[in-house]
Structure 1
Amino acid sequence: MSEQYDVSRVRIATPADVRPAAENLRDIAAAMGGLRVAICHNIAVNQSMEDADGNVLATSVFGWTFEEDDRWWRSPRLALKSPLPTACRYESEPFWCNAEGFRTSLPNPMLDMLDRADFVRRGLTPAAIVVPVHLPFGQIGAASYVPADRNKLDLAQEFDAYAVQLGVLTRHFIAGYVRSMCNRERLPVGPVLSKREVECLRWASMGKTDDEISLIIARSRATVRFHMHSASTKLNSVTRSQTLFKATQLGYISFSGGSFNGGSARMVA
Structure 2
Amino acid sequence: MDAVRIADPADVRRAARALNDLSLAHGFRAAPAHDIAGKRTPVDADGQPLASEIFGWGSEDKVWWKNTRIALDSPITSACRFESDAFWVNPGGFHTRLPNLYLSGIDLTNFEKRAMTIAAIVVPVHLPFGQIGAISFNPLDPSLTDLEQAYLELGDELGLYARTFIASYVHVMGSFQALPPGSRLSKREVECLRWAAIGKTDLEISMIMSRSRATVRFHLHNASIKLNAVNRSQTVFKASQLGYISLNK
Q: TM-score, normalised by structure 2?
A: 0.70
Q: Does 1:45 align with 2:41?
A: no
- Offset of residue 239 of structure 1: 4.6
Which of 99, 121, 126 is the equivalent residue of 2:91? Answer: 99
Q: How does 1:14-53 map to 2 (within 5 A)?
A: 14-32=8-26, 34-53=27-46
2:60 aligned residue: 67
CA-to-partner distance for each residue in 1:121-159, whole Å, 9 max, x for gaps? 000000000000000000000110000111110011110
- Offset of residue 48 of structure 1: 1.8
Secondary structure of 1:45's counterpart equals: coil
Secondary structure of 2:72's counterpart equals: helix
1:82 aligned residue: 74
Gaps (5+ residues) in structure 2? 180-242
1:171 aligned residue: 163
Secondary structure of 1:73's counterpart equals: helix
Question: What amino acid is aligned across from residue 65 of structure 1 in structure 2?
Answer: G
Q: Distance in 2 between matches of 1:82 and 1:25?
A: 23
1:10 aligned residue: 4
Question: What amino acid is aligned across from residue 124 of structure 1 in structure 2?
Answer: M
Q: TM-score, normalised by structure 1?
A: 0.65
- Offset of residue 23 of structure 1: 0.3
Larger radius of gyration: 1
**Contact 2:23–2:137, Cα closer than 8 Å, also in 1:** yes
Q: Distance in 2 between matches of 1:79 and 1:54?
A: 21
1:144 aligned residue: 136
Gaps (5+ residues) in structure 1? 1-6, 186-235, 241-269
Secondary structure of 1:96's counterpart equals: strand
Q: Distance in 1 between matches of 2:71 and 2:116?
A: 12
CA-to-partner distance for each residue in 1:203-223, whole Å, 9 max, x for gaps? xxxxxxxxxxxxxxxxxxxxx
- Structure 1 runs (4+) deviating above 6 angstroms are none
Q: Distance in 2 between matches of 1:67 and 1:156?
A: 31
2:197 aligned residue: none
CA-to-partner distance for each residue in 1:222-253, whole Å, 9 max, x for gaps? xxxxxxxxxxxxxx9x658xxxxxxxxxxxxx
CA-to-partner distance for each residue in 1:101-137, whole Å, 9 max, x for gaps? 0000111011011000000000000000000000000
Q: Distance in 2 between matches of 1:140 and 1:126?
A: 23
Secondary structure of 1:131's counterpart equals: strand
Q: Distance in 2 between matches of 1:102 and 1:68?
A: 28
- Offset of residue 68 of structure 1: 5.2
2:154 aligned residue: 162
Which of 128, 142, 153 is the equivalent residue of 2:145? Answer: 153
